[in-house]
Structure 1
Amino acid sequence: MLDAMDIRILEVLQQDSSLTNQELADKVGLSPSPCLRRVKSLEESGIITKSVTLLDQRMLGLKLTAFIQVSMDRHTPDRFELFESSLTSYPEVKSLSLVTGHSADYLVEVVVEDMDKYQEFLLVRLLRIPGVTDVHSSFLMQKVIDRTSLPLEHLTKTVKVTP
């Protein structure tokens, strides 16, 4: 069960996970030792899964983002497993989601340098995976909202405040 302090720690860490324990403790109003214990507990429970550094893809020359809807020929575990394991090995795949409610089975987010690299990814990699029957691509024009943090407000409604 999370308390108000755990939620505050999560909110602060989602904005900047590079904070030292002392900086985090100061921001949330704890002394360093209890703050560190709480962070370790959140990690051990699986709520905090990892800390990462976010990079600016455009500054690194990755100027094209494609969202690809992929349809499979058969809806069998072995077919899905083969597809998923294939895409896991491609570094240009930023995210892969199994979806419902569309004619597609998967939504793939791909980040590449340009349209030539996208075409190469599509023709040399994606369309050669057994079971892929149809793809529909959309291209990012502008990110309007680009969050990495999760909403936590719903947790504060059910949290018991501990003294």
Structure 2
Amino acid sequence: MEKIDAIDRKILKHLRLNARMSNVLLAKEVGLSASACMRRIGLLEKAGIIKGYTAVIDISTGGETIAVIIQITLERQTEEYLNRFEAAVRKHPEIRECYLMTGGSDYLLRVDVANAGDFERIHKEILSILPGVLRIHSSFSIRNVLGPLRS
């Protein structure tokens, strides 16, 4: 696939907000026929730009949870260390988000926990055994100011 254009960006924007939107409605929103829209989505998937679809769950319905933001510093910043760390993070669904960062830490992670004991388990069983970790700095959120989704 060649580079993405303005229509592809519109498709991606709408799918980020509602991946279950019907193809007919999506096509109308981006100014394409339904078949042309479906073709473009297929190309975006084949190129790996769209890696999959997911459901955003309102975690508050299953009980209150606390978002914990975790800064990870690795022992070394070599490609081997980064790759090993990232491969290990992908194996743990408890880690909801993981970003490679610039600045004071190498990675920023987010986990959702029910309480301090739940975080202690994640820290002991997952975070502390991730490969190449030198330092872990965790901060508990007070509340989400923007809510789960922004358009």
TM-score category (smaller protein): 0.7 to 0.9
Instruction: Report the number of matched residues.
Output: 148
Shift of 1:88: 2.2
Secondary structure of 2:60's counterpart equals coil
Normalised by the length of structure 2, the TM-score is 0.77
Q: Give the alignment's Cα RMSD to 1 decimal.
A: 2.7
Q: In the alignment, what sits opposite 2:74? A: 72
- Once residues 114 and 71 of structure 1 are traced to their aligned partners in structure 2, the CA distance between those partners, rounded to angstroms, is 24
Cα deviation code 1:21-61 (max 9, x no counterpart): 22223333433222222322333333333222111122233
Q: 1:71 to 1:40 in 2, by over 3 A?
A: closer
Residue aligning to 1:135:
136
| More RCO (CA 8 Å, sep 6+) | 1
Q: Look up the match of 1:110.
A: 111
Residue 9 of structure 1, CA deviation: 2.8
Alpha-carbon offset, residue 147 of structure 1: 4.5
Identify unmatched segments of 5+ residues in structure 1.
Answer: 150-163
User: Quick check: which has more Rg, 1 or 2?
Assistant: 1
Match of 1:27 among 26, 29, 35: 29
* 1:62–1:111 Cα contact (<8 Å) kept: no
1:45 matched residue in structure 2: 47
Task: Measure, in 1, the Cα distance between the counterparts of 2:43 and 2:69.
Answer: 36
Q: Write the distance in 1 (CA, Å) between the matches of 2:40 and 2:130.
A: 45
The gaps in structure 2 that reach 5 residues or longer are: none
CA shift in 2, pair 1:65/1:37, >3 Å = same
Q: 1:99 to 1:26 in 2, by over 3 A?
A: closer
Q: TM-score, normalised by structure 1?
A: 0.72
* Alignment check: 8 A CA contact 1:64 1:115 kept: no
Q: 1:144 to 1:33 in 2, by over 3 A?
A: same
